[in-house]
């Protein structure tokens, strides 16, 4: 458990969670990391901690550089326990003389509620202090993705300790973007933004504006791998995602009982393809919600389907729509579809949920009794063609 030096006197001392497969309902098929950073200066500073079960990794990596009791400051960029989970233990067992630096008022309020009365130093946007030959500057980034969130910048080293911004749920024993497959890193960064930050596009734009004034050589993220060779790429991607820029693509998502709704989904996908529109096709029997949301992030069209069971839509579709509604995907051109045996209530329910999520309904619900005929499927393709 050795620290990794990322610049002279600055070390990654976090933990890698190879086994993580779920984060708040977000499927993390490539694991994750909880990143913490140690700065050796006149005032030794730890930037963030790790999730509590990984505290031994954190302490071991710190101890490979200095005794933990020498730490003077612990900067807590975010209250959530995957970042702050070791604060109480560190103060009481490892770093008795350390001061915890947190945002005011929300960071101070949140940490106190979780860990009680510890030695806190509250900071706000524009505040800074010297730790020796280096300075730490603070910028509040509220709702990226909690009210307390902030980032820390070291101008002498041109490092932005970015907390949840620009991160990925990605486990890797290589710490930088250029040491990993860039397509994989960007894919996981998009998935992270879609499932953690999509709701907060306006706040992300405000944060990007504030950070645009900084000279950055390394983005030291809270999860995943750090950015040094593709900083402009990830910032450009965040600008696109936060502005809600949509591509000419469609997401078709459904569950099916006896394959009739699947046949409708196939016809819809074929029709979009004939129009030259890329299709992301998701069967909820096998597709994680978080993968579907990742495609919805940049797609213009959304079609959601289910047969009717006990006067309701199938439970996976209901669960997906609940998950979707939390992101308020405004601007998507959406419609509902499905088959039914006698009642057919599910299709109207999906239509109502899409409206409640903020989507623009562009077709009346497509309701097909029993098994769709070739004429039914041809009519569906014609409707899509004429959108």
Specify whether the CB–CB gap between 98 and 68 falls below 8 A. no
- 26, 48, 73, 78: the catalytic one is 78
Please state at what angle helix 182-192 crosses helix 231-242, rounded to 10 degrees: 30
- 115, 169, 188, 223: the catalytic one is 223
Give Cα 130 distance to the centre of its chain.
Answer: 32
- 17, 83, 145, 193: the catalytic one is 145
Residue 280 annotated as catalytic = no
Cα–Cα dist 166/301, whole Å: 26
Residue 78 annotated as catalytic = yes
- 11, 37, 192, 238: the catalytic one is 192
Residue 41 annotated as catalytic = no
- 41, 80, 188, 353: the catalytic one is 80
Residue 93 annotated as catalytic = no
Cα–Cα dist 224/82, whole Å: 13
- 17, 41, 57, 82: the catalytic one is 82
Residue 188 annotated as catalytic = no
Residue 24 annotated as catalytic = yes
Residue 169 annotated as catalytic = no
Residue 282 annotated as catalytic = no
The label of the residue with tokens 């409640």 reads 356
- 57, 164, 291, 353: the catalytic one is 164
SS (HEC) of the chain: CCCEEEECCEEECCEEECCCCEECCEECCCCEEECCEEECCCCCEEECCCCHHHHHHHHHHHHCCCCHHHCCEEECCCCCHHHHCCHHHHHHHHCCCCEEEEECCHHHHHHHHHHCCCCEEEECCCCEEECCCCEEEEEECCCCCCCCCEEEEECCCCEEEEECCCCCCCCCCCCEHHHCCHHHHHHHHHHHHHHHHHHHHHHHHHHHHHHCCCCCCEEEECCCCEECCCHHHHHHHHHHHHCCCCEEEEEEEECCCCCHHHHHHHHHHHHHHHCCCEEEEEECCCCCHHHHHHHHCCEEEEEEECCEECCEECHHHHHHHHHHHCCCCCCCEEEEEEEECCCCHHHHHHHHHHHHCCCEECCCCEEEECCCCHHHHHHHHHHHHCC
Catalytic residues: 24, 78, 80, 82, 145, 164, 192, 223
């Amino acid at each position: 458990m050795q620290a990794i030096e990322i610049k002279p006197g600055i070390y990654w001392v976090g933990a890698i969670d190879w086994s993580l497969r779920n984060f708040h309902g977000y499927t993390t098929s490539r694991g994750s990391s909880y990143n913490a950073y140690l700065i050796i200066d006149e005032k030794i500073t730890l930037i963030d901690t790790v999730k509590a079960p990984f505290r031994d990794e954190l302490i071991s990596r710190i101890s490979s550089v200095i005794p933990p009791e020498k730490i003077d400051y612990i900067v807590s960029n975010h209250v959530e326990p995957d970042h702050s989970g070791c604060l109480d233990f560190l103060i009481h067992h490892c770093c008795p003389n350390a001061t915890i630096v947190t945002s005011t008022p929300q960071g101070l309020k949140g940490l106190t509620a979780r860990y009680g009365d510890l030695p806190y130093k509250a900071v706000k946007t524009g505040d800074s202090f010297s730790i020796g030959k280096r300075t730490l500057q603070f910028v509040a980034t509220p709702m990226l993705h909690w009210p307390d969130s902030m980032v820390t910048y070291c101008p002498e080293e041109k490092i932005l300790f970015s907390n949840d911004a620009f991160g990925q749920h990605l486990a890797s024993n290589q710490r930088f973007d250029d040491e990993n497959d860039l397509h994989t890193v960007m894919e996981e960064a998009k998935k992270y933004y879609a499932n953690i930050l999509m709701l907060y596009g306006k706040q992300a734009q405000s944060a990007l504006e504030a950070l645009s004034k900084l000279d950055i050589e390394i983005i030291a993220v809270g999860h995943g791998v750090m950015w040094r060779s593709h900083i402009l790429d990830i910032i450009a991607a965040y600008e696109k995602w936060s502005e809600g820029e949509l591509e000419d693509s469609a997401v078709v998502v459904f569950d099916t009982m006896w394959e009739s709704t699947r046949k409708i989904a196939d016809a819809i996908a074929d029709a979009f393809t004939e129009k030259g529109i890329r299709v992301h096709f998701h069967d909820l029997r096998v597709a994680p919600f978080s993968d579907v949301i990742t495609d919805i992030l940049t797609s213009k069209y959304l079609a959601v389907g289910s047969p009717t069971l006990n006067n309701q839509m199938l439970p996976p579709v209901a669960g997906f729509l609940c998950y979707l509604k939390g992101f308020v995907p405004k601007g998507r051109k959406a419609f509902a579809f499905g088959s039914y045996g006698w009642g057919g209530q599910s299709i109207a329910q999906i239509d109502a949920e899409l409206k409640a999520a903020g989507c623009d309904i562009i077709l009346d619900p497509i309701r097909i009794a029993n098994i769709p005929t070739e004429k039914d499927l041809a009519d569906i393709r014609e409707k899509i063609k004429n959108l």
